[in-house]
Amino acid sequence: DAGITQSPRHKVTETGTPVTLRCHQTENHRYMYWYRQDPGHGLRLIHYSYGVKDTDKGEVSDGYSVSRSKTEDFLLTLESATSSQTSVYFCAISKIAGTGETGELFFGEGSRLTVL
């Protein structure tokens, strides 16, 4: 158990409303990630973080922002949700210590978001 908690687990919202998903880890690992999972596309990286206040974009970052003010929390925000953002969102952590290393990811249980 990698100690990853995502909240909320399920959310239904309307187009144009803001939504924030939270990822919390209990082990203080440096690297955290947000992916979205859609049929036919597998998992696609939205944003990732390599430390407090250090974040970078992934391959599908448009329409999303992130923040990491504490090591243990990584927030994903949809400023104005659209129907194309209906998806399952997964948070993941890596237990590596720095760049140049490769390691496995540990995933949360996912947050299912429906935008009507």
Partner 1 sequence: GNSVTQMEGPVTLSEEAFLTINCTYTATGYPSLFWYVQYPGEGLQLLLKATKADDKGSNKGFEATYRKETTSFHLEKGSVQVSDSAVYFCALSGSSASKIIFGSGTRLSIRP
Give the binding site for partner 1 (CB under 8 A): 31, 33, 35, 40-45, 48, 50, 56, 90, 92, 94, 96, 98-110
The nearest distance, CB 55 to partner 1, in angstroms, is 10
Tokens of 92: 């993941």
Whether residue 77 contacts residue 20, with contact meaning beta carbons closer than 8 Å, is answered with: yes
Give the residue among 56, 2, 12 at the shortest CA–CA distance from 34. Answer: 56
Q: Which is nearer to partner 1, 10 or 80 (CB)?
A: 10
Taking the C-alpha atoms of residue 39 and residue 98, their distance in angstroms, rounded to an integer, is 32
Q: Which is nearer to partner 1, 85 or 94 (CB)?
A: 94
Q: Which is nearer to partner 1, 28 or 80 (CB)?
A: 28
